[in-house]
Structure 1
Amino acid sequence: MAGDVTWQTSAPLPRRQNLADGVYEALKELIMDGNLDHGSRVNLDEAARQLGVSQSPLREALVRLEAVGLVTKEPFRGYSTTPLFSKEELYDLFEFRFVVEPWAAARAAERITPEGVAALKAELATCPKAPTGQYYQSYRGLSAHDERLHDLIQSLSGNDHMRRALARTHCHLHILRLRYRGGMGTAALREHRQLVAAIASGDAKTAEAAMCAHLEASRDRLLPVYDDPTDR
């Protein structure tokens, strides 16, 4: 763990039964904002001291962070933060998403019900506008909405195997670790509205095209990060 880590997080840690959740969110925020160097070892003693907690909730938090792919555990080395996606890994991720998600959008449109439409619109309402800040605390709501919407579309498609496969990628967290800007969120929410309208229409081809367009735009918004390494 780097010596110049900024340990201050956006909210104080809770002191009773939710302490483990608070430690998890604090470490997640530090990783998402890049305050813990990518690929660096997490020093448990230092982390516990700086966060003012015992190692028990810290270890519990690290197990949860490992499950979402933000840290890895190696024998005799302990936990380290995962490196950012390389350009090749980003392309691989989107190649997978292009296989799974347009199909799911088309299938969801074919199977759509009034209840499904209501669920999609309710999810859109949870994030009516994009955040403007560049730190995780400001865009965490958008990240959660993005994940929930794509999971809901998978659920409406009726294929639980595909749904679980997409969930295991934790793609939304890894993508937002690269860089968030306000313009990204505004464009993503616009595409989400178009996607929901396409699925709600019941037209499978339109829904598939809307998802493809959303994924292409999402990928293209991230590629400039690799052209300017100082922007990461």
Structure 2
Amino acid sequence: MCVNTLSAYGIIAIWQFEMRASMAAKPSPASTRFVKTSLAEQAYEELKKQILDLRLRAGARVNIDALSRECGISTSPLREALIRLGSEGLVVSSTNSGFSIAPVPDAQQMRQILEYRLMMEAHCARKGAVNASDETIASMEKSCEAMGAMYKKGLSYKYYRQYIDLEQTFHQLIVDSADNPIISSAYSGLHTILLVARLSVVPNSNNIGSETVMQEHLEIVEAFRAHDPDRAESAVHGHLKAAQLRAQRSDVTQVLASD
């Protein structure tokens, strides 16, 4: 009887082990959701790329059914992607008209963004310059050199896009130098909106940078290299203040150009 009882317990134990192994091998609801999220992530990346490449123009309505057929996926992950893009200011939605690509920020909105940057970047420059690492300074120098190369290459969309990406990297380095992840995250949220606005402007001799802007960037780098907080704050403040003045003398095109 004791042997039979032990045998029964052994069988039950083996059955329980096999059941646990079987359950572990089956996809869990979480892994199923992960596949869906992966599709939404892919849709998000593709739609964002189309917006930034100006294939989806500002103000254009988004036909979800057509996109679904084009991408070969259901509308659900597309909606998730569009909602996420909406949180970044790239897409707007309404009950009546559905989703559409966000309009380009106007001159007043751009000036408000510059005002925010003036306060944020000057503060971060002062704090970050004191203990700026060699790596940070080298990255800033590299960005400046690359911007100069793009400036010399001309006004094509390809070089204009690269110039803007490099400039945004440069200014993000200033903010990141303060070593405050909350500020860095909040500041980086501006990049996408600024990028779309600036890419919507046809490149010309005024908006792919200038010798003056290049010199302002170099002054910031020199202040960081000297680990001089007063000089760094002054250089960043002067650069962005000059951008505001350039903006006030012209329209939104010049606001975008004077960064």
Q: Return the TM-score normalized by structure 2.
A: 0.64
2:204 aligned partner: 181
Q: Does 1:139 align with 2:165?
A: no
Q: Please identify the structure whose Cα radius of gyration is greater.
A: 2
Deviation at 1:167, TM superposition (A): 1.3
CA RMSD of aligned residues (A): 3.3
Contact 1:40 1:81 (C-alpha < 8 Å) held by counterparts: yes
The one-letter code sitting in structure 1 at the alignment partner of 2:216 is: E
Report the more deviating stretch, 65-74 or 139-148.
Answer: 65-74
The one-letter code sitting in structure 2 at the alignment partner of 1:160 is: P
Q: Which ranges of structure 2 fall in alignment gaps of 5 or more residues?
A: 1-41, 255-259
- The count of corresponding residues between Structure 1 and Structure 2 is 205
Alpha-carbon displacement from aligned partner over 1:108-144 (angstroms, at most 9, x marks no partner) = 2112232332232233344333253364x44221222
Alpha-carbon displacement from aligned partner over 1:135-175 (angstroms, at most 9, x marks no partner) = 4x442212221221111111111222221221122353154
Q: 3-state SS of the aligned residue for 1:181?
A: coil
1:225 aligned partner: 251
2:72 aligned partner: 54
2:49 aligned partner: 25
Q: Distance in 2 between matches of 1:132 and 1:59?
A: 39
1:211 aligned partner: 236
Quick one: structure 1 residues 211 and 45, their matched pair in 2 at CA, closer, same or farther if it must change by over 3 Å? same
Q: Distance in 2 between matches of 1:222 and 1:129?
A: 22
The one-letter code sitting in structure 1 at the alignment partner of 2:71 is: V
Q: Distance in 2 between matches of 1:103 and 1:58?
A: 39
Contact 1:24 1:61 (C-alpha < 8 Å) held by counterparts: no
1:157 to 174, 178, 191: 178
Quick one: structure 1 residues 154 and 92, their matched pair in 2 at CA, closer, same or farther if it must change by over 3 Å? same
Q: Distance in 2 between matches of 1:186 and 1:91?
A: 18
Report the more deviating stretch, 167-176 or 145-154.
Answer: 167-176
Q: Distance in 2 between matches of 1:64 and 1:86?
A: 23
Q: Does 1:98 align with 2:109?
A: no
Contact 1:134 1:182 (C-alpha < 8 Å) held by counterparts: no
Report the more deviating stretch, 61-70 or 194-203.
Answer: 61-70
Q: Which ranges of structure 1 fall in alignment gaps of 5 or more residues?
A: 1-17
Quick one: structure 1 residues 48 and 189, their matched pair in 2 at CA, closer, same or farther if it must change by over 3 Å? farther
2:99 to 79, 91, 94: 79
Q: Distance in 2 between matches of 1:124 and 1:27?
A: 27
Q: Distance in 1 between matches of 2:253 and 2:51?
A: 29
Alpha-carbon displacement from aligned partner over 1:19-69 (angstroms, at most 9, x marks no partner) = 8745542332126xxx62x334222345567xx533558657645543432
Q: Distance in 2 between matches of 1:48 and 1:209?
A: 51
Q: Distance in 1 between matches of 2:253 and 2:209?
A: 22
Q: 3-state SS of the aligned residue for 1:157?
A: coil
Q: 3-state SS of the aligned residue for 1:186?
A: coil
Q: 3-state SS of the aligned residue for 1:112?
A: coil
Q: Distance in 2 between matches of 1:212 and 1:78?
A: 41
Alpha-carbon displacement from aligned partner over 1:55-90 (angstroms, at most 9, x marks no partner) = 558657645543432212334532212122223212
Quick one: structure 1 residues 112 and 172, their matched pair in 2 at CA, closer, same or farther if it must change by over 3 Å? same
